[in-house]
């Protein structure tokens, strides 16, 4: 039974017996709600002084939280502090809105199903330049700012790279004062909290709202009704023109929650608008009046399920109907919000492409394309051709993957059941498109079949990436190599047809969160030598550090910063996970989602190889350069191989860490629940960054950028943005290993046989054998067999083929690390040469290559 079956049979038209389902007056009257006759009153935040701050804070505590200082909990204080800081941002938020309404320019509508925001308080304090004032002011009350900061539960409304990228991008747009509304879903439960039990991953629901959510403003009066299900009806008008009416069978409403997205030092604050699903009153009432109270409550739950939980799948869409409901839900709310509430009432929609560009963050919001067509044709009365001409200029599409299994495909019957009108529109778009293909390539029916938006096998399904490609003005990949492969291997037919649609924008990361906030000590050092803080919004200025790489006293200071960051991390790991970390080891870090293509198992093989070489007596422990290997990774709950890999890593860690022969010179730590908050502590402390995906599989990576910017050296393949990092920092300051993408393709074509690598490489054989022997898994061989057998007999991502090269590169790392001065020099050059990876630069590229074209 699907979710929609639950209510459909009982109440076929719960909102009004086939009438146009847009009649709920509480939902639609928002345009008349504001009383524009009133004059705006100037808004000013509290004074930027310690006294002013303390007064504002106490006001919030007393009148916002309703508690006296001596009775207040840490949570009361945190909430009051958050609200206080927001008062300082508020004037700028309101002013930004006023300014934008007064001089409307083209804006960005960023559509993303995920925003992995991380904690808000630190960033808000930074944006308002209140950090010191707050620290001092709170201290006068006997409150420690750091304690309040750690009270915040981060909103984990994303899975990994794609969601974090969205958060970095909206930060940069605010910093650059570019008008943008970012739209998404206010999941009640974000990415699950990971715990370990008997070395296995357990998932705990992430109830991030449970202690209150001070950063959001709900606007129930701006609710939007979203329809689902039902059928379509056709009528002809007096001119013989056909009109289609969608008669849906159920609906929900979307309540917008507004979040401020502050800039930096520029008085601009943008808006993030996340939608929460609720049952509509009409919907509830009808069932309630029929006397079935239990059913009324049940249907309410049903509606609210839509924004209940983030799907924890990363790269492997499950094709679940609820996921499509989520996608349509937030996209329909967002388009409606913009067209009906943001544009002036008399706006001429033919000019829509001059006013907005909708950026599709992967295929998750692609249903927006037929939705805009539906609005224009069915609701606003446009002719198809004109509507299509408008729609085509309103969307741009970013692809974030190369894995075929990550490309979303929706079965035709699922879309037909949930969104019958949209399915018709998709068919019509496809029909017209295929006519175009036939005109361009007469007689090439094979090509027509290849390019069709509708796949016929294994079942009839809509290829969302193709729909996006047909409609979008621009299609971009997220790193140079990725964009090339996207053009030539994933969408070759489309790039042949429309070469100009394809472009690249290499990803970036926000220097505010990932350098200035996460690494205050390095920031201070940078500011000291560059003379000012302009680098925070102009990251190319980091090149000014080049000269200091040769300055011995600067190198010493740089090392002190790294050492202090390690201490800070180790204190956290002790407190958070009870983990003890040897203070002087090289810190070798691999943090990212657990996925076969990212090859955590390759790193595990290297660790086991080192361990084996010591316990077998082939190497003396004193010859090992002391290292602590850190893993951080969540596995999708249904991803068996990934979960088995986590189990193996934990098992290996347990064994190695308790083996006194290692003398602490070889240690493996795997703190549970890697998230943005932990990343902010881990990355600044790292010496070595592991970016070891099989070439041609990681679209870009953004963790790689964060590490380099914080002065870690990278060991990596020629994949994703690693390619660009290596070019910029130079071969001498980057440890390259592994096959290149063409070599991978060639080996694949020849026929890859992993066991032949196993047989020919003694170190590899010994490592694999030890891993499979049960040595690490309580003599239970089977416990390791899923991963080990896969490596030996399948190894889709060629870990065994790259093993030798990886081990050799790791030996170069050891040698390089032994020369402290040279290592530090390389680390400094990594910082100095990676200013390019600011997300501010990415945003400029989007503006130049996509949004303002
Ligand atoms: C469940 C369906 C699904 C499919 C794909 C969910 C999520 C995805 C994303 C495309 C996964 C993702 O986060 N991709 C990452 O995007 C980053 C930002 O561009 C890149 O840096 C990473 O290389 C890419 O894996």
The predicted model gives 264-274 an average pLDDT of 96
Is 567 designated active site? no
Q: Do domains 3-39+104-118+154-505+845-851 and 511-837 have the same CATH topology?
A: yes
Tokens 């009870």 belong to which residue?
A: 578
pLDDT of residue 284: 67
User: Does residue 417 register a pLDDT over 70?
Assistant: yes
The predicted model gives 178-200 an average pLDDT of 98
Q: How far is the CA of 698 from the centre of ligand 1 (A)?
A: 9
670 phi/psi in degrees, rounded to 5:
-140, 80
Fold classification of 511-837 (topology level) = Rossmann fold (3.40.50)
The strand pairing partners of 196, in sequence order, are 201
Check pocket membership of 162 for ligand 1, CB cut-off 6 A.
yes
Tokens of 71: 């009775």
User: Does residue 438 register a pLDDT over 70?
Assistant: yes
pLDDT of residue 196: 98
Q: Report DSSP letters for 621-650, one per residue.
A: GGGSPPEEEEEE----TT-HHHHHHHHHHH
Q: How far is the CA of 453 from the centre of ligand 1 (A)?
A: 22
Contact 227, 141 (CB under 8 A): no
User: Does residue 848 register a pLDDT over 80?
Assistant: yes
Write out 380-433 in H/E/C secondary structure.
CCCCHHHHHHHHHCCEEEECCCCCHHHCCEEEHHHHHHHCHHHHHHHHHHHHHH
Check pocket membership of 320 for ligand 1, CB cut-off 6 A.
no
Nearest CA to ligand 1 atom 17: 161
Give CB contacts under 8 A, 24+ apart, made by 240-243: 243/378
Q: How far is the CA of 314 from the centre of ligand 1 (A)?
A: 7
Instruction: Give, for ligand 1, the residue of 113, 401, 481 to mutate: max count of ligand atoms closer than 8 Å to Cβ.
Output: 401
Is 592 designated active site? yes
Tokens of 473: 């003005």
Q: How far is the CA of 162 from the centre of ligand 1 (A)?
A: 5
**pLDDT, tens digit, for every residue of 439-479?**
999 999 999 999 999 999 999 999 999 999 999 999 999 99
Q: Dihedral sign, CA of 264, 267, 268, 269?
A: positive
User: Does residue 368 register a pLDDT over 70?
Assistant: yes
- Give the ligand 1 atom nearest the CA of 311: 1
Assign 589 to helix, strand or coil. Answer: strand
Question: Residue ranges of the domains in the chain?
Answer: 3-39+104-118+154-505+845-851, 511-837
At 23, the pLDDT band (50, 70, 90 cuts) reads very low
Is 562 designated active site? no
- Give the ligand 1 atom nearest the CA of 114: 7
Tokens 């009257």 belong to which residue?
A: 29
Say what percent of the chain tops pLDDT 90: 90
d(CA 377, CA 164): 36
Q: Which of 501, 598, 726, 733 is catalytic?
A: 598
Nearest CA to ligand 1 atom 10: 400
288-297, 354-363, 611-620, 822-831: least confidently modelled range: 288-297
Check pocket membership of 600 for ligand 1, CB cut-off 6 A.
no
The strand pairing partners of 115, in sequence order, are 157
Across the chain, what does the average pLDDT equal?
94
Is 400 designated active site? yes
Nearest CA to ligand 1 atom 2: 317
pTM assigned to the model = 0.95
**How buried is residue 104: exposed, middle or buried, by Cβ count under 10 Å (0-12/13-18/19+)?**
middle
Instruction: Give, for ligand 1, the residue of 113, 157, 158, 162 to mutate: max count of ligand atoms closer than 8 Å to Cβ.
Output: 162
d(CA 425, CA 377): 10
Nearest CA to ligand 1 atom 1: 317
Instruction: Give, for ligand 1, the residue of 156, 158, 159, 161 to mutate: max count of ligand atoms closer than 8 Å to Cβ.
Output: 161
d(CA 715, CA 537): 28
**Triad 466, 277, 310: Cα angle to 5°:** 60
pLDDT of residue 317: 78
Bond preceding residue 458 cis, omega within 30 of 0: yes
**pLDDT, tens digit, for every residue of 209-218?**
999 999 999 9
Nearest CA to ligand 1 atom 21: 701
Is 593 designated active site? yes
Nearest CA to ligand 1 atom 22: 701
Integer Rg of the chain from CA:
28
DSSP-assigned letter for residue 70: G
pLDDT of residue 28: 36
Check pocket membership of 720 for ligand 1, CB cut-off 6 A.
yes
Say what percent of the chain tops pLDDT 70: 95
User: Does residue 8 register a pLDDT over 50?
Assistant: no
Check pocket membership of 698 for ligand 1, CB cut-off 6 A.
yes
Domain 3-39+104-118+154-505+845-851 is found in CATH 3.40.50.2000: yes
- Cα-Cα-Cα-Cα dihedral of 216, 217, 218, 222, to 10°? -130
pLDDT of residue 289: 74
Number of Cβ within 10 Å of residue 466's Cβ equals 24
At 531, the pLDDT band (50, 70, 90 cuts) reads very high
pLDDT of residue 780: 87
Buried b / exposed e over 216-254, threshold 16 CB at 10 Å, is beeeeebbbbbbbbbeeeeeeeeeeeeeeebbbbbbbbb
Contact 289, 282 (CB under 8 A): no
d(CA 381, CA 99): 32
Contact 146, 138 (CB under 8 A): no
- Give the ligand 1 atom nearest the CA of 159: 13
At 292, the pLDDT band (50, 70, 90 cuts) reads confident
Instruction: Give, for ligand 1, the residue of 110, 321, 362 to mutate: max count of ligand atoms closer than 8 Å to Cβ.
Output: 362
CA distance to 98, 383, 400, 459, 472, per residue, from 455 (Å): 47, 28, 21, 7, 19
- Cα-Cα-Cα-Cα dihedral of 61, 63, 64, 68, to 10°? 30
At 314, the pLDDT band (50, 70, 90 cuts) reads confident
């Amino acid at each position: 039974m699907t979710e929609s079956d639950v209510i459909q049979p009982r109440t076929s038209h719960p909102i009004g017996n086939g009438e146009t389902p847009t009649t709920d007056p509480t939902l639609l009257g928002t345009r008349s709600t504001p009383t524009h006759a009133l004059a705006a009153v100037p808004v000013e935040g509290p004074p930027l002084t310690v006294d002013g701050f303390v007064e504002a804070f106490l006001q919030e505590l007393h009148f916002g939280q309703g508690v006296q200082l001596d009775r207040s909990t840490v949570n009361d204080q945190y909430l009051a502090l958050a609200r206080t800081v927001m008062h300082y941002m508020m004037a700028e938020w309101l002013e930004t809105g006023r300014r934008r309404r007064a001089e409307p320019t083209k804006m960005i509508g960023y559509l993303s199903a995920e925003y992995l925001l991380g904690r808000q308080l630190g960033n808000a304090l930074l944006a308002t330049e209140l950090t010191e004032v707050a620290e001092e002011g709170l201290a006068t009350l006997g409150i420690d700012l750091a304690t309040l900061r750690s009270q915040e539960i981060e909103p984990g409304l994303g899975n990994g790279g794609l969601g974090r990228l969205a958060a970095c991008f909206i930060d940069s747009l605010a910093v650059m004062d570019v008008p943008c509304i970012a739209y998404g879903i206010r999941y009640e439960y974000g990415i699950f909290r990971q715990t370990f039990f008997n070395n296995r991953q357990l998932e705990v629901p992430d109830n991030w709202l449970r202690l209150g959510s001070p950063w959001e403003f709900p606007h129930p009066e701006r609710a939007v009704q979203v329809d689902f299900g039902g059928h379509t009806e056709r009528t002809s008008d007096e001119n013989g023109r056909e009109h289609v009416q969608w008669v849906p069978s159920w609906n929900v409403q979307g309540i917008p929650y507004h979040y401020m997205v502050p800039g930096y030092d520029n008085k601009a604050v943008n808006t993030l608008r996340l939608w929460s699903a609720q049952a509509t009153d009409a919907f509830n009432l009808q069932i309630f009046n029929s006397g079935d109270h239990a059913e009324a409550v049940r249907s309410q739950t049903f509606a609210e399920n839509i924004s209940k939980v983030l799907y924890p799948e990363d790269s492997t869409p499950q094709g679940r109907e609820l996921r499509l409901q989520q996608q349509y839900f937030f996209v329909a709310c967002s388009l409606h919000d913009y067209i009906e509430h943001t544009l002036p009432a008399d706006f001429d929609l033919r000019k829509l492409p001059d006013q907005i560009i909708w950026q599709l963050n992967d295929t998750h919001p692609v249903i927006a394309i037929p939705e805009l067509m539906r609005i224009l044709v069915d609701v606003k009365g446009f002719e198809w051709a004109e509507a299509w001409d408008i729609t085509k200029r309103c969307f741009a599409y970013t692809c974030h993957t190369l894995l075929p299994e990550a490309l979303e495909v929706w079965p035709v019957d699922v879309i037909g059941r949930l969104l019958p009108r949209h399915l018709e529109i998709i068919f019509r778009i496809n029909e017209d498109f295929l006519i175009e293909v036939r005109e361009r390539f007469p007689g090439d029916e094979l090509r027509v079949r290849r390019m069709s938006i509708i796949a016929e096998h294994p079942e009839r399904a809509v290829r969302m990436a193709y729909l996006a490609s047909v409609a979008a003005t621009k299609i971009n990949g997220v790193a140079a190599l990725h964009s090339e492969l996207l053009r030539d291997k994933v969408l070759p037919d489309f790039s042949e047809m429309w070469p100009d649609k394809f472009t690249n924008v290499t990803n970036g990361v926000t220097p505010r969160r990932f350098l200035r906030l996460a690494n205050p000590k390095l920031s201070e050092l940078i500011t000291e030598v560059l003379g000012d803080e302009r680098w925070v919004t102009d990251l190319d200025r980091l090149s000014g550090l080049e000269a200091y790489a040769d300055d011995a006293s600067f190198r010493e200071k740089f090392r002190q910063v790294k050492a202090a960051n390690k201490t800070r991390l180790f204190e956290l790991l002790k407190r958070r996970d009870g983990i003890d970390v040897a203070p002087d080891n090289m810190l070798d870090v691999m943090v990212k989602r657990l996925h076969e293509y990212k090859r955590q198992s390759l790193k595990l093989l290297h660790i086991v190889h080192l361990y084996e070489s010591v316990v077998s007596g082939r190497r003396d422990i004193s010859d090992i350069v002391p290292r602590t290997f850190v893993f951080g990774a969540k596995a999708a709950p249904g991803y068996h191989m990934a979960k088995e890999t986590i189990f193996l890593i934990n098992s290996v860690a347990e064994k190695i860490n308790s083996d006194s022969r290692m003398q602490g010179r070889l240690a493996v730590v795997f703190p549970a629940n890697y998230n943005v908050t932990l990343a902010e502590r881990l990355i600044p402390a790292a010496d070595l960054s592991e970016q070891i995906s099989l070439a041609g599989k990681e679209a870009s990576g953004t963790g790689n950028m964060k590490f380099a910017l914080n002065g870690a050296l990278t060991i990596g393949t020629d994949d994703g943005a690693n390619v660009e990092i290596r070019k910029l920092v130079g071969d001498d300051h980057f440890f390259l290993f592994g096959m290149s993408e063409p070599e991978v393709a060639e080996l694949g074509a020849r026929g890859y046989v992993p066991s032949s690598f196993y047989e020919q490489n003694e170190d590899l054989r010994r490592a694999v054998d030890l891993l499979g022997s049960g040595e690490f898994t309580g003599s239970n061989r089977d416990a390791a067999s899923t991963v080990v057998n896969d490596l030996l007999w399948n190894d889709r991502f060629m870990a065994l083929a790259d093993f030798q090269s990886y081990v050799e590169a790791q030996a170069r790392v050891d040698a390089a690390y032994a020369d402290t001065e040279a290592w530090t020099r390389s680390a400094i050059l990594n910082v100095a040469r990676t200013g390019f990876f600011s997300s501010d630069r990415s945003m400029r590229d989007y503006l130049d290559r996509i949004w303002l074209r």
